[in-house]
Amino acid sequence: MSRPAGLAGDPVEFAAMTEISIIAHLADTAFARRLPDGLTTAQFAVLNHLLRLDTQQTIGELARALQVSQPTMSSTVRRLEEKGLVTPVPDPDDRRIRRIGVTPAG
């Protein structure tokens, strides 16, 4: 296995990063197995965020909160809409803005 350039001079740091990577992969796999069928980790993160805050948010707000691009968030939200887990709600102050809210099924 070749080392990334930034870790080439520090074998301890390289070993630590390797172990962290393995642990992260195992945790991600275990988490994904416990999600309801058809729900991705990203979709769960959006639902969880909205439910924890108990509010509706725009695509931009969700993207910033979950540190992804707006196109990525739009795609994730669209899939959640298709599953009936979220719904767009017009902003009461500016009808051009769509806020995303969790449905009873979500």
Rounded CA-CA distance 91/68 in Å is 22
Count of Cβ atoms closer than 10 Å to residue 70 Cβ: 13
Residue 63 contacts residue 70 (beta carbons within 8 Å) = yes
Structural domain count of the chain? 2
67 and 94 assigned to the same domain: yes
16 and 60 assigned to the same domain: no
Residue 57 DSSP symbol: B
Res. 5 pLDDT band, cuts 50 70 90: low
State CA 83 to chain mean position distance.
16
Which pLDDT does position 100 carry in this prediction? Answer: 97
Q: Report yes or no on 60 lying in a domain.
A: yes
Give the DSSP H/E element, type plus range, for residue 86: strand 86-90
Q: Report yes or no on 2 lying in a domain.
A: no
Whole-model pTM: value is 0.76
Which pLDDT does position 22 carry in this prediction? Answer: 95
Location of structure tokens 């275990």: 30
Segments forming the whole domain that contains residue 20: 7-36
pLDDT in tens, 26-80: 998 888 888 887 899 999 999 999 999 999 999 999 999 999 999 999 999 999 9
Rounded CA-CA distance 25/8 in Å is 22
